[in-house]
Chains A and B, each alone.
Chain A
């Protein structure tokens, strides 16, 4: 039996907050961020030891948007093991993207971000997601496919 106790494993969770009109929230990182300043991204963040994975996503979304996630579902996951990728800050980095139409509250931009937009998946693809572009594009593709909108998917 190989050692199945992974070391240096990180879990990052992100979420598409979808409005009634189908538009999705994207936020722009601070220009003082060390990695890719000013890149667009989606709310979410890193899992901390001992948290429930769902509570962890709710906490990050609340911190970054002031919105309460009620229910959500995963749309895409991948793992990054390439040691040359900056995402691979640990031995194994599991990255998961969720989507939610079921959230409440009044949106407020956090100090971590300098701008925000509500946009359609097609509009979102135009933005600079820097090194996360592959992950976010795959997540948008998967989101549209799950909704049965594969005709809208832009390759």
Chain B
């Protein structure tokens, strides 16, 4: 494998980006869990989303995802296939400090009871079609599309 040549860090800088993990969580009926952001938040108040969280240094992506879902929703999940890799800048400035690489996975849970944090005001289990109607953020819709493609084996 030809890996990055880190000996020349000026022309080929070592990444110092943040890493986020997210999940399209489904229940045994195949419904997707959507959560609604609190209307009091500054960023995207009141919008529907799925769970995303940032990894800590040295944290394994799959284990980090399990931790985030436990913290944010109080549920235990089984992590499945990787659905999508994405790249964004947090905030408004496209600087190295704001750079973030995201990994969205499929995940399943048998737990129906969700414990929401202060950041979210409600949650719903919906079909992929209903999810695409409720969601407004393009990246999250792409995650749902990737999940649908995986289910349909349109590979």
Contact = CB atoms under 8 A, between A and B. Distances in A.
Interface of A: 2-14, 29, 33, 35, 39, 41, 45-54, 73-77, 79, 81, 87, 89-94, 96, 99, 101, 112, 131-132, 135, 142, 146-148
The number of chain B residues touching the other chain, given as a range, is: 35 or more
Interface string B120-145: 00000000000000000000000000
Contact of A9 (B1, B15, B86): B15
- With most chain B CB atoms within 10 A of its CB, the pick from A41, A50, A99, A112 is A50
Given A45-B2, A112-B2, A53 B146 contact: no
A59 to B, nearest CB: 13
Given A91-B57, A92-B57, A94-B101, A8 B155 contact: no
Interface in B27-49: none
B103 A46 contact: no
Interface of B: 1-6, 12-19, 54-58, 60-61, 81-87, 94, 96-97, 99, 101, 103, 146, 149-150, 153, 155
Given A2-B56, A53-B85, A73-B149, A79 B61 contact: yes
Contacts of B94: 50
A73 B146 contact: yes
Given A5-B97, A52-B87, A73 B155 contact: yes
Contacts, number: 131
Contacts of A35: 3
A14 to B, nearest CB: 7
Contacts of A93: 3
B14 A41 contact: no
Contact of A41 (B1, B87, B146): B1
Q: Name the 10 nearest CB pairs between A and B, nearest first.
A: A46-B4, A4-B54, A74-B82, A9-B15, A53-B87, A77-B82, A132-B1, A49-B13, A53-B85, A41-B1
A13 B4 CA distance: 11
B155 A146 contact: yes
A146 B83 CA distance: 11
